[in-house]
Amino acid sequence: MGLKDKVAIVTGAGSGIGRGIALRFAKEGADVVTPDINLEGAQNTVKEIEALGRKSLVLKTDVSISSDVDRMVTETINKFGKIDILVNNAGIFIQKPLVETTESDWDKVLDINLKGVFLCTKRAVQEMLKQGSGKIINLASVAGQVGFADSSAYCASKGGVINLTRELALELAPKNINVNAIGPGSIETPMTREMLADPAVKQMLLGATPFGRVRSARGHSKCGFVPSLR
């Protein structure tokens, strides 16, 4: 098994789970595109990918802006000629009680976490249909299934990702495009550090984790690797 000479786009690859997945893909033989709003982080990931002997492409990308997404896909096709795998990993987390959550907070989380998945998937699928195959992996969350207190926008966005994944899997399977979702639990990333800093939230998460500990993003990267082989 492996991903030799496959081309993958991993959004939000500048840190956390996205970086872990991007590096795992490179180790397995894939060339990896690393779009991220955090350009410096994405550039650091690219250096690690290239050190593994694989090609990469770094792009400053806001997945909630359609023109950015179009450029991401167009430049990937121009450089590599195809897209075998799309990992919709980019996301943000805002922790606030409902009554303190502003409309701007809500829009920002939904735009990046859910609209971004829609935009990236739609544009990548246009290329995958031409190719006759493709694999899409969406980063959901256990928060989209069971909910966490003081994170209404995040839970709503991840619940949306889960059901969007179900719909896309049904719609695209006849076209030889596989769509799956991953629901990470207690993973230490730059995005989750604020959440895990709250003792009550951390205890709740660890209580639902069989190992009773927070895992590293790189240790979780296999969860993105396995669906890419199906």
Q: Which residues are known to be catalytic?
A: 154
DSSP string, 54-117: --EEEEE--TTSHHHHHHHHHHHHHHHS---EEEE-------B-GGG--HHHHHHHHIIIIIHH
Residue 214 is classified by DSSP as: P
Q: Tell how strand 134-139 and strand 177-182 pair up.
A: parallel
Q: What is the largest CA-CA distance in the chain?
A: 50
User: E strands, the chain, where?
Assistant: 7-10, 31-36, 56-60, 85-88, 134-139, 177-182, 187-188, 215-216
Closest among 85, 187, 191, 212 to 136, alpha carbons compared: 85
Q: Determine phi and psi for 33, rounding to 5 degrees.
A: -90, 135
Q: Residue 49 in contact with residue 23, Cβ under 8 Å?
A: yes
Q: Tell how strand 187-188 and strand 215-216 pair up.
A: parallel
Length of the chain in terms of residues written: 230
